[in-house]
């Protein structure tokens, strides 16, 4: 037994030394944090908390500049954090594969949905889904967005001006929006399942981030065995069951409408009312082209990604408006110029006139991009410029937060200045990439802006937001999307009380 053990230990040591040697050989001459060969920065990752991730990356960016390399257990990551070095990464039409480990951990949630898939499957799926986000289809969703915006305002004003934790209200509102506008299913206000879904999806994303930091959880069998993995898969099941119910409800309605059209002898209405309708029609009209499993992948993806990213943007918008009353008042003045005393909800034409509000939204997403970094696994060598080439097999991390806070491209980059986005202002086209860019840009970006404009227009016309704490004390937490650490406390008062509030 002793001899067998010695042989096993010897084999493990030889393999480890081989991996360390290979890691050393693959190491480029790019700057980066001091490394132990093969282990890289993994030696201290177990000490990191989720709120430490962004500050760590910011520190590396400030110290090592626009392009640097980090290694984790033999896996080299090249960070790019300025528009000039980001552009060749995002515009490349061959290197479109998302980072291996970063996105592999998403697969239990999204399987091979649009965020995770690559190659021919991604290209064909993207082509199939893009028409679902056509402007005319989004315009049809505005009635639902307006209705939900009114309910959201009522929920905010019910706080009576006392400090209110807004995170739950915002997440609930964005989930209802994605269900109704993208899935065509209206949630009951008394249904507790949506709260369970929100909680479960948050737990799943939190556990994915924690898994990044605990390298012993990387192997699937190890992760499934530990308590964190069991918690993760339990909540994945909750989200999947919720999504299955949404699909089932919409399918029943789709079939009823189809049967009704046939019985009445009328032609089928080809107008797609929701994203999910497109998927059901594909399954119905082209059997085998788009299966129920394919549908589930995309519903899982868009349900979670859609409401978490929109919620992140809304949280930071409320926080910034509350802490900048002068800007909040400018947004309100623009709304009054458009609506005067009319209580109607915004139309597409109204939204197009909200130039200053759009500047505020863009500046919010610049300061606090909902997804602060993304990655690509290189299938072939990538030339950054005449002197720098990143070799195939490495993962490139696009540090969006760094790009948005570049002192080279933004004056006073940490300050909230919506006027940066005054129409006609010239800047590097890759200095602002909140929805990524290139072939794998966010398919839902028009939907997100439509929701944010409508919600904020309705809130600002009816409410006055006041801060509970200074922005100086704000810590940022990374849970795949960016969010304020420790929640979001804001006072919400009726607009009629604005003057009294300002005078105190």
Residues of the binding site for heme: 442
Could you list the beta-strand ranges (E) of 362-419. 374-377, 382-383, 389-390, 395-398
Closest CA to 174 of 432, 476, 369, 456: 456
User: Residue 292 is encoded by which pair of tokens?
Assistant: 């129920």
Please, are residues 448 and 441 in contact by the beta-carbon 8 Å criterion?
no
User: Residue 53 is encoded by which pair of tokens?
Assistant: 């991730």
Residue 67 parent element (H or E):
strand 67-72
Give the residue ranges of DSSP H helices in 265-383: 275-285, 292-323, 325-339, 348-352, 355-367
- CA dist 213 and 207 (Å) reads 10
Q: How far is CA 354 from the centre of its chain?
A: 24
Using CA atoms, how far residue 27 sits from 22, 40, 376, in Å, is 9, 11, 18
Known binding-site residues equal 442
| Angle at the Cα of 25 from the Cα atoms of 23 and 28, rounded to 5 degrees | 90
- CA dist 327 and 279 (Å) reads 41
Report the C-alpha dihedral over residues 430, 397, 360, 441, rounded to 10 degrees.
70
- CA dist 312 and 485 (Å) reads 12
**Secondary structure class of 70 (helix, strand, coil):** strand
- CA dist 360 and 148 (Å) reads 22
DSSP, res 347: P
User: Residue 17 is encoded by which pair of tokens?
Assistant: 């030394």
Length of the chain measured in residues: 504
- CA dist 352 and 274 (Å) reads 22
């Amino acid at each position: 037994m002793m001899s067998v053990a010695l042989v096993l230990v010897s084999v493990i040591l030889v393999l480890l030394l081989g991996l360390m040697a290979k890691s050393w050989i693959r190491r480029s001459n790019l700057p980066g944090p001091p490394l132990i060969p093969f282990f890289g920065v993994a030696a201290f990752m177990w000490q990191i908390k989720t709120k430490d991730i962004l500050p760590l990356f910011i520190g590396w960016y400030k110290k090592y500049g626009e392009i640097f390399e980090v290694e984790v257990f033999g896996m080299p990551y090249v960070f790019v954090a300025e528009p000039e070095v980001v552009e060749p990464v995002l515009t490349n039409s061959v290197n479109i594969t998302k980072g291996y480990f970063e996105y592999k951990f998403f697969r239990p949630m999204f399987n091979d949905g649009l965020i995770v898939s690559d190659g021919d499957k991604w290209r064909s799926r993207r082509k199939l889904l893009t028409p679902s986000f056509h402007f005319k289809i989004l315009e049809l969703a505005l009635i639902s967005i307006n209705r939900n915006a009114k309910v959201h305002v009522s929920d905010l004003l019910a706080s009576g001006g006392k400090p209110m934790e807004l995170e739950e209200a915002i997440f609930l509102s964005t989930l209802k929006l994605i269900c109704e506008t993208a899935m065509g299913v209206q949630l009951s206000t008394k249904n507790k399942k949506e709260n369970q879904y929100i909680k479960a999806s948050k737990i799943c994303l939190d556990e994915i981030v924690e898994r990044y930091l605990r390298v012993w959880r990387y192997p699937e069998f190890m992760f499934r065995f530990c308590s964190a993995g069991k918690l993760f898969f339990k909540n994945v099941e909750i989200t999947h069951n919720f999504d299955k119910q949404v699909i089932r409800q919409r399918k029943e309605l789709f079939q009823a409408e189809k049967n009704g059209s046939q019985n009445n002898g009328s032609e089928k209405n080809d107008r797609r009312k929701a994203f999910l309708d497109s998927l059901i029609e594909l399954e119905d009209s082209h059997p085998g082209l788009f299966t129920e499993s394919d549908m589930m992948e995309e519903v899982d993806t868009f349900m979670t990604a859609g409401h978490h990213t929109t919620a992140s943007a809304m949280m930071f918008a409320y926080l910034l408006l509350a802490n900048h009353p002068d800007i909040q008042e400018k947004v309100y003045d623009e709304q009054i110029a458009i609506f005067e005393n009319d209580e109607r909800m915004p139309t597409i034409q109204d939204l197009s006139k909200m130039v200053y509000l759009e500047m505020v939204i863009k500046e919010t997403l610049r300061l606090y991009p909902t997804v602060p970094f993304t990655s690509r696994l290189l299938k072939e060598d990538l030339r950054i410029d005449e002197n720098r080439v990143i070799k195939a097999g490495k993962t490139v991390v696009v540090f969006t937060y760094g790009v948005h806070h570049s002192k080279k491209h933004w004056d006073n980059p940490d300050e909230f200045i919506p006027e940066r986005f005054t129409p006609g202002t010239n800047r590097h086209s890759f200095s602002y990439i909140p929805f990524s860019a290139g072939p794998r840009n966010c398919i839902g970006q028009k939907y997100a802006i439509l929701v944010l404009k409508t919600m904020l227009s309705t809130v600002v016309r009816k409410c006055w937001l006041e801060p509970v704490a200074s922005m100086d004390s704000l810590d940022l937490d990374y849970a795949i999307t960016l969010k304020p650490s420790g929640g979001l406390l804001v006072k919400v008062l009726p607009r009629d009380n604005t003057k009294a509030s300002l005078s105190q």
